[in-house]
Amino acid sequence: MSIADLVERHPEKHTRFLLRGLRRARCRNPKKGIEVGVSRGRNAYNMLESFPNLHLIGIDPWEAFEPEHVSRKFAADFFEARPRVRQHRVFRHIFKTQEYHEQNYEIAKATLEPFSDRIDLWRTTSQQASTQIGDETQDLVFIDGDHTQANIDVPLWFAKVKRGGILCGHDYGNWHDWAGHWNVKPSVDKLCKDEGLSVRLFRCHVWFVVKSTTHEWLEEDDASTITRTRRRRD
């Protein structure tokens, strides 16, 4: 099977809620954005398709976890005695190989080819990449990388968002948070407490923080009125 056969451009489930949240956050025409954790590029594709003026930097090392990685360590201990549980789809991501990541990198490049003038893929970690990005320069940052590092990533990328811009991400309150393997929820909650802001949640564990104390969200009713109006016209 060739890389072209593996390209999928339909939205991931969480992408729908990300785009819905951006609409409700009145984010209509972002120009500079970052995605931390690109994988096969499906979310990036849909963001670029939705926002015609968006220039996106996609950051991902496309590297298998090191053995000392906390999830891997947990997995090794936990699954040693439970080999059948290891096969469950919820756990499969923990055991990705380097070949899998190399293939994902090729798929991401092919997926994003139609937007090659508006996407830069940086093959590096979130924290290394952040040193190349100026503070308060981004309209939008979406964090979906290594969730065990959320305590570092969340404040780091918040600093890169412009006043009035949006920091958002995936996997807030996922069961991994409660089990203590990830730390998205505690990190986002701490940021909000420190900055006097609030988090807004959407389905599929999608979270949003707007870097402004005066931001007004478009409420569900307003959003559904727009949808209903559009439907009637159709």
Ligand X SMILES: C[S@@+](CC[C@H](N)C(=O)[O-])C[C@H]1O[C@@H](n2cnc3c(N)ncnc32)[C@H](O)[C@@H]1O
Q: List contacts with ligand X (CB under 6 A).
A: 12, 35-39, 42-43, 59-62, 101, 125-126, 144-146, 149
| Least separation in angstroms between CB 224 and ligand X | 25
| Least separation in angstroms between CB 46 and ligand X | 8
When the beta carbons of 22 and 36 are compared against ligand X, the nearer one is 36
When the beta carbons of 38 and 184 are compared against ligand X, the nearer one is 38
Contact (Cβ atoms closer than 8 angstroms) between residue 30 and residue 51 = yes
Tokens encoding 200: 């807004």
When the beta carbons of 61 and 155 are compared against ligand X, the nearer one is 61
| Least separation in angstroms between CB 193 and ligand X | 25
Give the CB-side neighbour count of residue 227, counting CA atoms within 13 A. 10
| Least separation in angstroms between CB 102 and ligand X | 11
Q: What is the distance of C-alpha 171 from the center of its chain?
A: 9
Q: What is the distance of C-alpha 228 from the center of its chain?
A: 29
Give the CB-side neighbour count of residue 168, counting CA atoms within 13 A. 28
When the beta carbons of 30 and 37 are compared against ligand X, the nearer one is 37
Q: Which residues contact 154 (CB under 8 A, 6 or more apart)?
A: 143, 167, 169, 184, 187, 188, 190, 191
When the beta carbons of 110 and 215 are compared against ligand X, the nearer one is 110
| Least separation in angstroms between CB 167 and ligand X | 15
142 in the Ramachandran plot: left (φ > 0), alpha (ψ -120 to 50) or beta?
Answer: beta
With 0-12 / 13-18 / 19 or more C-beta atoms within 10 angstroms meaning exposed / middle / buried, residue 48 is buried
With 0-12 / 13-18 / 19 or more C-beta atoms within 10 angstroms meaning exposed / middle / buried, residue 57 is buried
Q: What is the distance of C-alpha 146 from the center of its chain?
A: 10
| Least separation in angstroms between CB 59 and ligand X | 5
| Least separation in angstroms between CB 234 and ligand X | 29
When the beta carbons of 10 and 230 are compared against ligand X, the nearer one is 10
When the beta carbons of 80 and 94 are compared against ligand X, the nearer one is 94
